[in-house]
Amino acid sequence: MRAVLDAGPLRTGDWLDLARGALDAWLHPAVPSRVPALASLVGGGLWTMVAAAVVFQPVPPDWPGYLAEILLPALLAAGFLLVATLGCVLRAGDGGGRTMAFAAGLCTIGYVTWMAALAATTAGLTDGPTLAAAQTFAMIGTTLIGAVLVQAGDETVGLLLVVGSVAMLIPWAPVWLAFGAAWTAVGIVLELERPSRLGARWRAS
């Protein structure tokens, strides 16, 4: 970068190169971020509490299984898990290609739709089938991200995403516990891997 700046007035192509370099440095920092791990742990923990509140009801609620008192915690969990999912996307680097870009876009739209449906349900503006459809949309995107990670060699995190998301596609509330457990496990894996990934970055530099 210093050489480019010292070479003289910057042209449009130089500005684009600098912007791409800055974006790449932000997406792939020298020190691995703890945000995805923390988001996974918080989101997974919140969702496990949501699932437990539903599963241990004396009379199971109708599908999709949301109770009025769990809508806000579910919305918070979905927000954290969106951050965690996009953090997992970055693990693939350039290896995911267009498939990962498509999966990330699909997942983002799905999660935002799911969160909007949760908020609308909290306000009494939508119904259960709409909420279930939005949730399914988010899970399909997450499953695709997990599959791409597995293909790229990131088997542990990828399989956890696939297993957790596929479980949420089953119309049976107890499998929500598997979704929460899978995301909690992702958070643990990301946090345990962080020192080794940090060491690899330092050795590479």
Query: 172-182: per-residue pLDDT in tens?
Result: 888 999 999 99
Q: Cβ-count burial of 66 within 10 angstroms (0-12 exposed, 13-18 middle, 19+ buried)?
A: buried
Q: Give the pair of three-digit tokens for residue 140.
A: 């399909």
Q: Where on the phi/psi map is residue 11: left (φ > 0), alpha (ψ -120 to 50), or beta? A: beta
The pTM score is 0.81
1 and 92 assigned to the same domain: no
Q: Where on the phi/psi map is residue 57: left (φ > 0), alpha (ψ -120 to 50), or beta? A: beta
42 and 140 assigned to the same domain: yes
Domain total in the chain: 2
78 and 141 assigned to the same domain: yes
Who wins on pLDDT, 153 or 10? 153
198 and 108 assigned to the same domain: yes
Q: What are phi and psi of 30, to 5 degrees?
A: -65, -35
Q: What domain range is 180 assigned to?
A: 35-204
Cis-peptide into 61, omega within 30 deg: no
19 and 48 assigned to the same domain: no
21 and 58 assigned to the same domain: no
Query: 138-181: per-residue pLDDT in tens?
Result: 999 999 999 999 999 899 999 999 999 999 999 888 899 999 99
22 and 95 assigned to the same domain: no
Q: What's the CA angle centered on 180, arms 167 and 41, to 5 degrees?
A: 140
